[in-house]
Chains A and B, each alone.
Chain A
Amino acid sequence: MLREPELYDYSPMCDRPKITWPNGARVAFWVAPNVEYYEYDPPQNESRRPWPKPHPDVVPYSHRDYGNRAGFFRMMETMAKYGVRGSVSLNVAICQHHPELIKACNDLDWELFSHGIYNTRFTYNMTKDQERTMMEDVISTIMDASGQKVDGWLAPSLTYTTNTFELLAEFGIQYTCDLFHDDQPQPVNTKSGRLISVPYSLEMNDTVVLSMMGKSSRHYTDILKANFDQLYEEGAENGQVMCIPLHPFLIGQPHRIGNFAEVLDYITGHDDVWVTTGREIAAHYYEHHYDNVVASLTASRNARGGL
């Protein structure tokens, strides 16, 4: 077992290179809806049960299905109203089950990135070859359904092997959303190629805040606004990233959508915000900052004696 991920170097926020965004923006703001398919009767994985109850587990299954039937369109309409394009964390089986959703995303120029095949198929215990097969499937499925190249990755249901990041680099994935250690993109140390993490934030994730922590919708609104305010303040010194990861079955509920609209209205009402997508953040970072940051991290590592 690894003691640590061995994926990134220590880099204190108070002592690192300055990051800038287009047009002098202080915060790169992106919204990442998770468009997911949970199976009715999925196979078991030794490390984790797909559903808490014996199958069928109708309540959580149907709760999530609400997202695709009702919540998605409501969420999409609200985002469009504020000019926010989504970066979709996609269970790619949606391409087969609900191609209407893929078409709607493409029509609005939304990004599609990988969230695995199904949210009930975990990466735990996959051999390297099995994980490769899954990745190939994801990449070709999104390409065939949308014409988009997969640039981003959020592991299905946040499940991993210790090969995951190496394989992402091998497949030319540009950025991962799976590391929660930072408010700026960070280089990921891999042997096979370039990879960066783009902040995705579990702290801002509707599932974590509303379901796991049991917060009210109004409290979630306060959290999102306060988080933005702080990053906007800090972004004057060093560019920051704020992501709102969403699930249409939660944020797309009628009683929550108004609060979400209020947050988008608030954030997009600021001047120095770059309203963007994960892919665009990664591309900008590679073009303007990656080499400089890697050089700085390498210098620090050498000064510490290679640790």
Chain B
Amino acid sequence: MSNLPDDYLTYSNRALGMDHDRYTWSQLHERPNVTWPNGARVALWVVTQLQWFPMDMKPGVPVPGGSVRPYPDYWNYTLRDYGNRIGVYRIFKVLDKLGINASVAINSALAERHPFLIEQINQRGWEVIANGLDMGHPLHSGMDEAEEAALIKGVLDSLRNLSGQPVRGWLSPIRSESFNTPDLAAANGIDYLCDWMNDDMPYAFETKSGTIHNMPHTTELDDQQILINLRHTEQEYVDQLKDQFDCLYAESEKYGGRVMAINLNPWVTGQAYRIKALEKALSYITGHDGVWSATGADILDAFKAQA
């Protein structure tokens, strides 16, 4: 093993604020209060992820939920595919029943395979968020910039064409970014990112193509994280969603409107034995006065109007 170079003990970004220029340092509780439409206290942002895990995945970074068995891995492929055939419609039924206005983050390759899914989203007036190409193509710094640029442009062209929507939001597969991802997304007309999980509110995010925003969208409440990775029970999942809501709802009295994002994977929460847990949690939340169920773009626009 060789010794470290001398500059290992040099700290070139050691200064007030962040060690990069993407956003400014700001504490949540010191910001001006935000008011949501009709005086709502919490903007509820439900995001269903529709993803395709191809059998020949060779991602440059590990992909949770991807194949862990030798090829041909019908096990993992078909279990994920269950979500897009069965689970998603259980989730949509619950959202319909509760009158929830939602966003759907979708891989463009899946939308191309099954345009029926886009029709289902559009019929409900829901928002399409771009979730990359497929789960075999996470973005990362090992990628050539031109390759990443072409991938992002291709994804957005495809989803805009299929959905007829402007597609303003970007969620990277497994939230994995290269250093260039925000610039490339913004250059292709993206208004907001969902990858960074460092806040409870939208905040301004700097790119080479100007200021966009990052929306609060976290793995803390992600069903895959709670139920699969952490192996909590369905009841614990319900409790966590309710606890998160209770805290944000209470805080909103003093600090103004808050955002609660819930990320759903149909192959997880769309299982027959889990769907009632989701319904229970969402019923609790939407049963409160002052809950505004909205898409990411709606929330961002209301936020920007006050910034």
Q: A3, B56: Cβ atoms under 8 Å? A: yes
Residue numbers in A under 8 Å from B143 (CB-CB): none
User: Contact between A181 and B78 (Cβ–Cβ < 8 Å)?
Assistant: yes
Cross-chain contact B71 with A1 (CB below 8 angstroms): yes
- With both beta carbons as reference points, the residue of chain A lying nearest to B134 in the complex is identified as A3
The residue in chain B whose Cβ has the minimal distance to the Cβ of A162 is B72
Closest to B93 in A: A14
What CA separation (Å) do A287 and B199 show in the bound complex?
57
Instruction: Decide: A226 and B234 in contact? CB cutoff 8 A.
Output: yes
A269 proximal to B (CB < 8 A): no
| B72 and A5 contacting across the interface, CB-CB below 8 Å | yes
Number of interface residues of B (CB under 8 A): 36
- How many Å lie between the Cα of A160 and that of B55 in the bound state? 13
Assembly CA distance A203 to B273 (angstroms): 9
Judged by a CB distance under 8 angstroms, whether B89 is at the interface is: yes
Determine the distance from Cα of A7 to Cα of B56 in the docked complex, in whole angstroms: 15
Of all chain B residues, which has the CB nearest A240?
B272
* Apart from A158-B69, A182-B86, A214-B231: 10 A-B pairs, beta carbons within 8 A: A1-B56, A158-B74, A160-B72, A181-B79, A182-B82, A183-B86, A183-B272, A224-B273, A230-B272, A230-B275
- A202-B75, A214-B231 given; A13·B85 CB < 8 A: yes
Please report the C-alpha to C-alpha distance between residue A2 and residue B67 in the assembled complex, in whole angstroms: 14
B70 to chain A: which residues have CB within 8 Å? Answer: 47-48, 124, 159
The verdict on B288 contacting chain A, using a C-beta distance below 8 Å, is no
Whole-angstrom distance between the alpha carbons of A47 and B272 in the complex?
Answer: 33
Please, how many residues of chain A have a CB less than 8 angstroms from a CB on the other chain? 42
In the bound complex, residues from chain A placing their C-beta under 8 Å from that of B86 are 13, 181-183
Closest to A231 in B: B272
Given A181-B81, A226-B273, A227-B272, also A213-B72 (CB < 8 A)? no
Check: A306 CB closer than 8 A to any chain B CB.
no
A202 surroundings in chain B (CB, below 8 A) = 75, 79
Q: Counting chain B CB atoms within 10 Å of each CB, which of A12, A178, A181, A226 scores highest?
A: A181
**Which A-chain residue is minimally distant from B87 (CB atoms)?**
A13
Given A5-B78, A11-B85, A214-B231, A226 and B276 contact (CB-CB distance below 8 Å): yes
B234 touches A2 (CB 8 A): no
Contact with A along B259-298 (1 / 0, CB 8 A): 0000000000001111110000000000000000000000
* B303 interface hit (Cβ, 8 Å): no
Q: Does A40 contact B (CB under 8 A)?
A: no
Contact across chains for B273 and A227 when beta carbons are under 8 A apart: yes
A12 with B77: CB separation less than 8 A: no
Secondary structure type dominating chain A contacts: loop
Given known A47-B70, A160-B72, A226-B234, contact A5–B273 (CB-CB < 8 A):
no
Inter-chain contact B72/A158, CB cutoff 8 Å = no
In the complex where A3-B56, A227-B272, A231-B272 touch, is A15 in contact with B116 (Cβ < 8 A)?
yes
In the complex, the answer to whether B85 meets A181 with C-beta atoms within 8 Å is: yes
CA–CA, A15 and B228, complex, Å? 29
> B55 to A3, Cβ gap below 8 A?
yes
Contact A161 B77 (CB under 8 A): no
Query: Which residues from chain B contact A3 at a C-beta distance below 8 Å?
Result: 54-56
Give the distance in Å from the alpha carbon of A178 to the alpha carbon of B79 in the complex.
Answer: 11
Tell me the complex Cα distance, A184–B182, Å: 42
Cα distance, A162 to B86, chains bound together (Å): 25
Q: Residue on A with the closest CB to B77? A: A5
Assess the A10–B113 pair: CB atoms within 8 A.
yes
In this assembly, does A179 line the interface, its C-beta being within 8 Å of a C-beta of chain B?
yes
Q: Are B85 and A182 in contact (CB under 8 A)?
A: yes
B304 contacts partner chain A, Cβ-Cβ < 8 Å: no
Contact B276 A2 (CB under 8 A): no
> Is there contact, CB below 8 Å, between A13 and B74?
no
Interface residues of A in 174-189 (CB under 8 A from B): 178-183
Residue A263, interface by CB 8 Å = no
Say yes or no: A13-B233 contact (C-beta < 8 A), given A5-B72, A160-B72, A202-B79: no
Chain A residue at minimal CB-CB distance from B136: A3
**Which B residue sits closest to A213, measured CB to CB?**
B231
Contact bitstring A1-34, B, C-beta under 8 A = 1, else 0 = 1111101001111110000000000000000000
Q: Scoring B residues 205 to 241 as 1 if CB is less than 8 Å from chain A, else 0, what string do you get?
A: 0000000000000000000000010010110000000
Which single residue of chain A is at the shortest CB-CB distance from B117? Answer: A12
**How many angstroms from the CA of A238 to the CA of B113 in the assembled complex?**
25
Decide: A10 near B56, CB < 8 A? Known: A180-B75, A203-B271, A227-B273: no
Taking the closest CB of chain B, its distance from the CB of A181, in whole angstroms, is: 4
Contacts A/B (CB < 8 Å), 28 sampled: A1-B71, A3-B55, A4-B54, A5-B72, A10-B113, A12-B114, A13-B89, A14-B89, A124-B70, A158-B69, A161-B72, A162-B72, A180-B75, A181-B82, A181-B86, A182-B82, A182-B85, A182-B86, A203-B271, A213-B228, A219-B233, A223-B273, A227-B272, A230-B90, A230-B273, A230-B275, A231-B272, A307-B113
Q: How far is the CA of A243 from the CA of B91 in the complex (A)?
A: 22
Minimum CB–CB distance from A132 to chain B (whole Å) comes to: 18
Residues in A with CB closer than 8 Å to B273 are 203, 222-224, 226-227, 230
